[in-house]
């Protein structure tokens, strides 16, 4: 995966062209689940992502251990019992914007997009499709999305005792602020 990202970047460093690829290493992905017992909430501010505006391809990757909880014990359980982050340290999304033609990357403004691709969590890959928005600003590109995932779809085992405590579905928020990759 790391190689893949480097391969995506490499042409930009070599070819002298207008920025086609945009990148961030400081992206935000958070999730939130509500149950009568408690709210589950975690933030990850270390998301690495590359957006290729010529093809609409998008890659995201995160370290599971970079998810930050307000409660230390919840973070420990998340890593050890549910995500098994020692065994499966990363989550990856690889996909593309399907309605790329409706985005004018040369014009400042906000555009609705649909993104589809493969989301790999806990070593289980599922196809997902989600709505989002692309905002073209003078400094770069912002991307936002909200969608739901079901832990069961990713073989995340939740023991019966606490199953009702943990939300069946989690709302995932994605907020990216991309900068153009330097082209010399």
Partner 1 sequence: MKPIVKIALLVVVLIAIGGLFAALYLYNLKPRDLQKAKPHFSISADDFQKAFNENEKAASTRYINKIIDVSGTIASVQSGEKNTFNVALKTGNELSSIICTFHSIKDTTILRSGNQIIIRGVCSGFLMDVLLNNCVVVKSWK
Residues that bind partner 1 (CB under 8 A): 2, 5-6, 9, 25-26, 28, 30, 43, 45-46, 48, 61-63, 65-66, 68-73, 75, 89-90, 175
Helix, strand, coil distribution of the chain in percent, nearest 5: 20, 50, 30
Which candidate, 120, 65, 124, 62, places its Cα nearest to that of 95? 120
Q: Which is nearer to partner 1, 20 or 46 (CB)?
A: 46
At closest approach, how far in Å is the CB of 166 from partner 1? Answer: 15
For residues 27 and 23, give the distance between their C-alpha atoms in angstroms, rounded to a whole number. 9
At closest approach, how far in Å is the CB of 9 from partner 1? Answer: 7
Q: Which is nearer to partner 1, 12 or 97 (CB)?
A: 12
At closest approach, how far in Å is the CB of 39 from partner 1? Answer: 13
Dihedral sign for Cα 112, 137, 181, 29, please. Answer: negative
Q: Which is nearer to partner 1, 25 or 131 (CB)?
A: 25
Q: Which is nearer to partner 1, 45 or 125 (CB)?
A: 45
For residues 180 and 65, give the distance between their C-alpha atoms in angstroms, rounded to a whole number. 27
């Amino acid at each position: 995966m790391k190689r893949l990202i480097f391969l995506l970047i490499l042409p930009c460093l070599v070819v002298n062209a207008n920025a086609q690829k945009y990148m961030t290493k400081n992206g935000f992905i958070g999730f939130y689940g509500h149950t009568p017992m408690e709210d589950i909430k975690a933030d990850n501010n270390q998301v690495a992502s590359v957006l290729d505006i010529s093809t609409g391809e998008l890659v995201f990757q995160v370290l599971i251990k970079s998810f930050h909880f307000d409660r230390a014990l919840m973070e420990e359980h998340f890593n050890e019992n549910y995500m098994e982050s020692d065994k499966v340290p990363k989550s990856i999304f690889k996909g593309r914007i399907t309605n790329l033609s409706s985005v004018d990357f040369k014009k400042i403004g906000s555009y609705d997009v649909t993104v589809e691709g493969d989301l790999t969590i806990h070593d289980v890959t599922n196809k997902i499709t989600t709505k989002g928005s692309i905002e073209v600003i003078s400094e770069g590109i912002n991307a936002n999305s909200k969608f739901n995932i079901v832990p069961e779809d990713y073989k995340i085992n939740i023991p019966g005792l606490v199953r009702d405590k943990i939300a069946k579905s989690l709302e995932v928020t994605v907020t990216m602020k991309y900068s153009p990759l330097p082209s010399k």
